[in-house]
Amino acid sequence: MQAVFPTPQQIGFKVPVDLIETRFSAGFEHALKGGHLTDIEYFRRSFRLGFRTAKLYLREVRRARGVIDFPFRRRVRLRSVWN
């Protein structure tokens, strides 16, 4: 079964004029598919902003559905002083 991902225009987001729309949409789709920023092309401004917009969109969708985002796991180093 193929997943259908919305475009930025379908969710009501207007791409700013100073960005490249095709690259922005590619970043948006890449984030919706669960991709990571690993390739040098992924760090271009339009792609990154599309990626970030999709991540924020996914966060709002999850909140609306009642899915809880757990905080990041942190490493804590405790140092105790023994007398």
- The string of pLDDT tens digits covering residues 57-68 is 988 888 888 877
Task: Give me the pLDDT at residue 6, please.
Answer: 86
- Residue ranges per structural domain of the chain: 21-65
Identity of residue 16: P
Contact between residue 13 and residue 53 where contact means Cβ atoms under 8 Å apart? yes
Dump pLDDT digits (tens) for 11-57.
888 888 999 999 999 999 999 998 888 888 889 999 999 999 999 99
This prediction has a pTM of 0.75
CA 54 to chain centre: 5
